[in-house]
Amino acid sequence: MTSRTCLTVILAAGEGTRMKSSLPKVLHEIAGLPIVGHVAKAVQGAGGSDIALVVGRGADKVETSVRALVSNITVHEQVERLGTGHAVLAAQSAIEAGYDDIIVVFGDTPLIETSALEMAREKLAGGSDIVVMGFRPDNPHGYGRLIEQDGRLIAIREEKDASEAEKKIGFCNGGLMALRGDSALALLHMIKNENAKGEYYLTDVVEIANSQGKSVVAIEISPDNVIGINTRLELAEAEAIWQNRKRREMMLAGVSMQAPETVFFSHDTVIEADVTLEPNIVFGPGVSIASGTVIHAFSHIEGASIGANASIGPFARLRPGANLAAKAKVGNFVEVKNAKIGQGAKLNHLSYIGDATVGADANIGAGTITCNYDGYNKYHTEIGTNTFVGSNSSLVAPVSIGDNAYVASGSVITENVPADALAFGRARQEIKEGRAVQLRARYAALKLSKKAE
């Protein structure tokens, strides 16, 4: 299989009007990745390193999105919408380059699996000329039926043209197809538009190939593989399927989840075995978590790297650039952004640590914040190893606190603190004996006067 060259034609020129969106349909996201990006990833996994992207509306945006994932693509615009056969021929210049295998997929089927594409390529390698990917829906009504005879696919019959016997067939056309590269263009050019819509249907190559005595077969793939996205409702349904797949994959790989249905992953989430995920956790893009870590409930994590045996949450938020070493602890209602947290450091509760470095075994008290932004620019805070920062402290960047230093609770730190020093940065406390009685009387009189008005 690896010795065979492959071109995948991704058809992504649909209008997507039912999405009711200014964004091209194929750029709507599932698990943080555009729909067409999921297709491109599956294609790459099946060895389809070369991609011909057929675009229409929002061509530039669609091209940019796919190029961010794969480099070896050519882009072809389908100016007129004259059917799937016409769409594939928009990529004629790429097909002419010469490939062993040509795979045709749709840019709006994000649940297509690499294994399905590999199965189709294996059939081509075994001598088939055309491989049609079919599925068995719970209700076949409305789908084209795959008519087989002696192991060969002899026709694809649309329901309106099917006989009563053919309508009872449960094996349906998924629209995805693989063709031998040396005969693909000739077959595509033989497709006619002699139908009510005057369009060129890719499915017609089945009967054309059969008339030439070529080998045409159908393979069965999971119905999820051919789910196309046309509305926001279908987008949400596909997201749910993708998330369930990912949850299953994670748990089989050794990740523990107490309530899997409440955990949501990104397309690129990486979690090692023996990580525990409590309920109601959301992962944005760019997260990796090492073994032994526990993510407590109601945490939101994005763009973060978490070392082994760490503890996160509950109600923690890790934003892009958060980098936590082994055994670090980020507790409830703590937010970390663009900060390195050293091994064994503790940020237990109610704190914001941004644009900072926190040394190993440091202890950051409740309510501590790094004041990193002056309204125009951001500045860095350096907190040393084994440093103790008392509760309700504000560290005004740029500032550094040396190793083994202490910062008294309630301090506003604006100057560097040397190692092993104790820093106070708060107003001097004064006590006025009996003043509380006077204040209560004054406030009570003010309240009465307001009621009398």
Distances (CA, A) of 206 to 154, 158, 173, 186, 188: 7, 13, 12, 13, 10
Please, what are the domains in the chain? 6-226 (3.90.550.10), 232-423 (2.160.10.10)
pLDDT at position 369, please? 98
Q: Report whether 337 belongs to an annotated binding site.
A: yes
Pair 227, 246: CB distance under 8 Å: no
153 is in an annotated binding site: no
Contact 43, 10 (CB under 8 A): yes
SS3 102: strand
Write the CA distances from 50 to 66, 124, 265, 312, integer angstroms.
12, 17, 28, 41
Predicted pLDDT at 101: 94
**Contact by Cβ (8 Å): 289, 306:** yes
Which amino acid is it at 430? Answer: E
Residue 284 contacts by C-beta under 8 Å, 6 or more apart in sequence? 32, 266, 300, 301, 302, 303
Can you tell me whether residue 392 is helix, strand or coil? coil
Q: Is the dihedral of CA 358, 327, 266, 51 positive or negative?
A: positive
352 is in an annotated binding site: yes
230 belongs to an annotated ligand binding site: yes
108 is in an annotated binding site: yes
Number of other residues whose CB lies within 10 A of the CB of residue 340: 18
Confidence class of residue 316 from pLDDT cuts 50, 70 and 90? very high
DSSP structure string for 406-422: EE-TT-EE-S-B-TT-E
| 38 is known as an active-site residue | no
Q: What is the structure's pLDDT at 240?
A: 97
The reply, when asked if residue 144 is annotated as ligand binding, is: yes
* pLDDT band for position 74 (cuts 50, 70, 90): very high
Q: What is the DSSP letter of 373?
A: B
Report pLDDT for 359. 98
Residue 91 marked ligand-binding: no
What is the pLDDT at residue 2? 58
Q: Which of 28, 38, 76, 349 is catalytic?
A: 349
pLDDT in tens, 87-143: 999 999 999 999 999 999 999 999 999 999 999 999 999 999 999 999 999 999 989
- Helix or strand holding residue 121 (H, E): helix 114-125
SS (H, E, C) 191-231: CCCCCCCCCCCHHHHHHHHHHCCCCEEEEECCHHHHCCCCC
Name the phi and psi angles at 263, rounded to 5: -105, 130
167 is in an annotated binding site: no
Instruction: Kindly state the average pLDDT of the residues 145-154.
Output: 92
Is the pLDDT score of 1 beyond 80? Answer: no
- Pick from 312-321, 327-336, 435-444: least confident: 435-444
CA 110/CA 42 separation, integer angstroms: 9
Residue 69 marked in a binding site = no
The pLDDT of residue 206 is 92
Q: Is the pLDDT of residue 323 over 70?
A: yes
